[in-house]
Structure 1
Amino acid sequence: MKFSVLGPAGTFADAAAKAYLTTQPDSDIVFDYHPTFDQVYQAVSGDNIGLLPLENQLDGYVSATLQRLQSADVTEIGEITIPVNFGLVANVADLKQIKQIYVQFKTEGQCQKLLSSLPQAQIVTTSSNMVSLEKFQSGEPGSAAIIPQSQMAVLKQPLMLDKVADQDDNSTRFIIFKSRPANLEALSSQALSDTHFKAPLFVTPSFNDQPGTLYEILGYFAKQQLNLVTLMSLPVKTQLGVYSFYLEVSGTRDQQEVLFTTLRQMASKYRVHPLGYYAV
């Protein structure tokens, strides 16, 4: 089975994938590395699985992942959260000599204190932390990069700073998914392997915006004592000013029936796009 992740090896996605596998029964896994979100998503088919970052503690949700989930026919089968931190490497002797700094697009939001202290440096955005390292290693004098802290031990540069994220207790949550539609009936028949669940989904009003729409949607869950741990709105992109709501519902195994009864009731009035139902 292939496990598609953002690569190359050594990224936080790679570490998250390996951490997830330690929670699963032994299986024959081949890691399949790709440089972009789209390539990871497109690579997953059949019984193969993929992993993408969903949420960072400091910088919030990863819009690139949410935008794919909004219209994708995928089923989330689990999640994994790992600690993350970063180091700075530079081929100069002093921070003021840095001319350009390579940083992954999501890492940039987690290291704002450092970046704001380098106004003279051009920020060059990359698709992954390991790409930042590669570009730095082949870069010109005056180059720097923000890279995973785990990579610092194998490098030797004139300037090296440890733990440059805005705070030390930083973590990122990743989702694991398969390329198949998440059907309410199929999901509701699953037997959980643990006592607690999470159920991510999108809910989209099938009519123009009107007062009380969100209040009514939230009321379905409040009435049944189902806990909402996430609520976000994303534009549907087909019409300006129309939004879809991304929700994550959590609960216990004995709430499974009421969860899916509630979602079926909602589906009679709204467009409900389930994404999965898994143990946490």
Structure 2
Amino acid sequence: MKLSVLGPAGTFTDAASQVFSARHPELNIAPDYHPTFDLVYNSVAPDGLGLLPLENQLDGFVLATLQRLQSADVTELGEVTVPVNFGLAARVDDMAKIKRIFVQFKTEGQCQNLLANLPQAEIITTSSNMTSLEKLQAGDTGDAAIVPQSQMAALDFPLLQDNVADQDDNATRFIIFKKEPASLTAPDGTEAPTTAFKFPMFVTPPTEQPGVLREILTHLADAGLNLVTIMSLPTRQKIGIYSFYIEVSGTFAQKALLFETIGQMAAAYTVHPLGFYAL
């Protein structure tokens, strides 16, 4: 099975794909690398899967993924969380000599302490961490890059500094999905009642009247369902009108209650489900 991922090989997305492949050897997964989020999504075949980063422990949610999910007809099948850390490599022998530094757009927010100590360096944003490394390898004296820590042992530059993320226990969560609309109907299954689930969705109220978010959350609270995440994104229809990205968790003993509650919400709001899967 083809799994579309953000490439090239060696990225943290690639590492997440390897974890997922090891969990599901029966799928015989072959990674299919693409340089952008849109290309990853667009390349997912009807009989294939996609994998995109959703949330980083230090820098929060990946806006590009949320914006895609907001309108995409996808069904999330699960998630993978992998540890991430970074090293600094440079074509100089002193950090004060760094003139420009290549850094992936999401990595930048995870290495703020390091970048604050390089005020003289121009930050060049890249699409992936391995692209940062490639640009450094093809670059000039004065160039530097923040790259995956896993790549550091194989590098040979005058300046190498390990573990430059703001925290050592950093991690990123990825979602696995297929291009098929998710259902508002409870799926069949034989999971144990104590098995945990997650149900991600977008909920868009018809108006922006005061108290609408409280009303949305009251549905979940009254049902005893756990709100894991809530994020607001503009609908792009009008300033002040927002859609709420929500993740709900619980146990399979609550499955019927969950879908009954979501059905009630769908009668009052636009509910865009993104899947229902075991954790």
Which TM-score band (shorter chain)?
over 0.9
Q: Is the 8 A contact 1:102 1:126 kept in 2?
A: yes
For 2:189 and 2:200, locate their aligned partners in 1 and report how far apart those are by CA, in whole Å: 17
Aligned residue in 2 for 1:141: 141
**Counterpart in the other structure of 1:220:** 219
The answer for unaligned runs of 5 or more in structure 2 is: none
- Matches of 2:249 and 2:47 in 1, distance apart? 26
**Displacement of 1:135:** 0.4
CA-based RMSD of the aligned residues comes to 0.9
Q: Which runs of 5+ in 1 are unaligned?
A: none
When structure 1 is superposed on structure 2, of 48-57 and 194-203 the one drifting more is 194-203
Q: 1:102-134: CA deviations, max 9, x gaps?
A: 000000000000001000000000000000000
- How many percent of aligned residue pairs carry the same amino acid? 64
Quote the residue 2:262 is aligned against.
263
- In the other structure, the counterpart of 1:84 is 84
Q: Secondary structure at the match of 1:22?
A: helix
| Residues 202/192 of structure 1: CA separation in 2 closer, same or farther (3 Å cut) | farther
Is residue 199–residue 277 contact of structure 2 (8 Å, CA) maintained in 1? yes
Structural mapping, 1:49-88, within 5 Å: 49-88=49-88
SS at match of 2:219: helix
Q: Scaled by the length of structure 1, what TM-score is found?
A: 0.97
Aligned residue for 1:243?
242
Q: Report if the CA contact (8 A) 1:192-1:253 is conserved.
A: no
Structure 1 letter corresponding to 2:175: I
Q: Which amino acid aligns with 2:209?
A: Q
Which amino acid in structure 1 is aligned with residue 6 of structure 2? L
**Distance in 2 between the 1:193 and 1:53 partners?**
27
The one-character-per-residue Cα deviations of 1:121-156 (angstroms, maximum 9, x if unpaired) are 000000000000000100111000000000001111
Deviation at residue 27 of structure 1 after TM alignment: 2.3
Partner of 1:172: 172
- Alignment check: 8 A CA contact 1:3 1:49 kept: yes
Structure 2: distance between partners of 1:193 and 1:201 = 22
- Cα deviation for residue 190 of structure 1 reads 3.3
**How many equivalent residue pairs?**
277
Distance in 2 between residues matched to 1:87 and 1:59, nearest whole Å: 17
TM-score by length of 2: 0.98
1:190 aligns with 2:188: yes
- Alpha carbons of structure 1 residues 245 and 146: separation in structure 2 relative to 1, 3 Å: same
Distance in 2 separating the partners of 1:279 and 1:167: 29
**Offset at residue 26 of structure 1 (A):** 2.1
> 1:156 aligns to what?
156
Post-superposition shift, 1:192? 6.0
Conserved? CA contact 2:191–2:252, under 8 Å: no
1:25 CA drift (Å)? 4.2
